[in-house]
Every structure is written in C-alpha cells, then in structure tokens.
C-alpha cells in the first residue's frame, strides 16, 4: 500500500475532528477510498468518514486492508504536517508509516493496534426532512444554545428551522428562515421537533473546517444526521442518538 496526498488538509482536519469523539478506530482501505465507521465510547454518536481515492495523487493498493489506529496518536502526528507537505502513507512491519516531504523528509511510524470490537454498520435511516445551510449559521446557533443549556430542541417546518434551548436561567431561540443560503424540505404538514445533546453537536460542527455547507436531518425521538461533504474528495457524516424527552 502506498497512498500520497499532495495537500494533507482533508486528512488532517478529519482525523482531528473524529479523534474528539473516538479514541481508537479501524480504517477500511479499499480501491475507492479510505473509510472509517466508528462509535464514540458512550455509543451516542457514530462517525462515518470517507476520503476518496481521487483526493490522492498516488493510490497504490493491491487488496483492501483494515488497520486499527489510535486516533489521538494519529492526530498528533498529522498536526506536524505543514500545509505544503506531501504526505505518504505506507504499511511496513505492522506499522503505519507516514512520510512528510517538504524542505526536509520526516517519517513517523505508528503501531497498528488490534481492535476486538466488531465492525460497525451504518444504520439505514429515513428522515421526513432535510435542511441544507451554511456551516457558519449552524455553528453560530449551536454556540448560542451552548451558553444556556446542555440539550437543544430542533424544529423544522415549511420554510423555517428553529433551534431552542432552555437552561435554568436563560433561554435561547434561533430562527433560521429558508433563503438562498438555507434550503428546508419537510415531508410533513406539522412541525417536526426533536431533542439532542449540545455537547455532541459542538464536536460535530467542527466538520465546518471541511466544508462551507452542512446537511441536517432529524426526527422526533429518532437519530439526527449531519453531513459535511466536498465533492470527489471527502465525506464526514455523523449520526447522533436523540435525547428522549421526559415531558
């Protein structure tokens, strides 16, 4: 296996975001992509990551291979790559060898780890709504509700996406109207409302480093799906379990 990236940004940013949710993970490397499906230790959020072979300037692979990696370790090494470095990944002696080429040649070797847990399967989810908006609008809204509470209500109806949180003291409400920036499609005549953890949403909106746009889907007492995508390059998507309302 020999995979080379001319710009490390997509790999670097993705691993940095994922390592905030998952400690150790199995990468599934196929002729099409470097893929990862992983659950956070509390089994509240799932991460689905795909770095397409078309992002690479060199993609040499005989057979699909699975490798287990400690992600905080991986993140720390990738952080040392400069934006202008080319990054090559190879497997040697049960190690993932990363070579950064710039003014000097720098090599980091990471041990592969055995993962006992079974492979994660991405659940088949069907949603009654789909919202596409700018990453910055969603970031602002999640940061707004973060100062007042630890869970948030999302509500979608025709032409309007509302984000609500009620803390012991302060309440916050953000109304995002459909516009050129925000497309709201709802397959329901009544508003759809669901509740999620702000702590997890905050980690997920870091996906804004990858893409200026985000797609959000959710349903009452049902998971939420959030997706950051760069065509022909990278997909980072999150599935988040609902906070079941007890009111």
Based on the shown chain and the rule CB under 8 A, indicate whether residue 115 belongs to the binding site for its own copies. Answer: no
- Residues 174-213 touching its own copies, rule: CB under 8 A, are 174-177, 181
Based on the shown chain and the rule CB under 8 A, indicate whether residue 170 belongs to the binding site for its own copies. Answer: yes
Beta bridge partners of 214: 133
Of the residues 110, 112, 178, 191, which one makes contact with its own copies according to CB under 8 A: 110
Contact of 237 with 225, CB cutoff 8 Å: yes
Q: How far is the CB of 135 from its own copies (least distance, A)?
A: 13
Based on the shown chain and the rule CB under 8 A, indicate whether residue 69 belongs to the binding site for its own copies. Answer: no
Q: How far is the CB of 156 from its own copies (least distance, A)?
A: 14
Interface stretch with its own copies, choices 20-28, 56-64, 68-76, 119-127 (CB under 8 A) = 68-76
Beta bridge partners of 68: 26
- Residues 78-107 touching its own copies, rule: CB under 8 A, are 79-80, 95, 103-107
Based on the shown chain and the rule CB under 8 A, indicate whether residue 140 belongs to the binding site for its own copies. Answer: yes
Nearest to 11 by CA among 30, 27, 31: 27
Q: How far is the CB of 72 from its own copies (least distance, A)?
A: 10
Question: CA quadruple 83, 88, 91, 92: dihedral positive or negative?
Answer: negative
Based on the shown chain and the rule CB under 8 A, indicate whether residue 171 belongs to the binding site for its own copies. Answer: yes
- Residue ranges in contact with its own copies by CB under 8 A: 70, 73, 76-77, 79-80, 95, 103-111, 137, 140-141, 143-144, 147-148, 169-177, 181
């Amino acid at each position: 296996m020999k995979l080379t990236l001319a710009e490390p940004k997509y790999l670097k940013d993705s691993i940095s975001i994922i390592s905030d949710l998952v400690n150790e993970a199995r990468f599934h490397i196929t002729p099409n992509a470097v893929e990862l499906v992983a659950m956070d230790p509390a089994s509240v959020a799932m991460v689905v990551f795909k770095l397409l072979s078309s992002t690479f300037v060199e993609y040499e692979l005989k057979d699909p291979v699975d490798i287990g990696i400690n992600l905080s370790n991986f993140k720390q090494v990738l952080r040392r790559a400069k934006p202008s470095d080319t990054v090559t990944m190879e497997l040697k002696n049960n190690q993932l060898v990363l070579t950064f080429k710039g003014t000097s040649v720098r090599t980091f070797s990471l041990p592969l780890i055995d993962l006992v847990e079974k492979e994660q399967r991405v659940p088949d989810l069907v949603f009654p709504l789909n919202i596409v908006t700018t990453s910055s609008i969603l970031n602002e809204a999640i940061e707004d509700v973060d100062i007042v509470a630890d869970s948030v209500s999302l509500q979608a109806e025709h032409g309007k996406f509302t984000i609500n949180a009620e803390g012991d003291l302060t309440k916050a409400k953000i109304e995002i109207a459909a516009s050129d920036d925000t497309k709201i499609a709802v397959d329901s005549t009544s508003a759809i409302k669901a509740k999620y953890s702000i702590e997890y949403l905050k980690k997920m909106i870091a996906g804004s480093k990858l893409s200026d746009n985000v797609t959000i889907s959710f349903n009452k007492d049902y998971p939420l799906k959030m997706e950051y995508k760069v065509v022909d390059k990278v997909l980072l998507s999150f599935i988040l379990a609902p906070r079941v309302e007890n009111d």
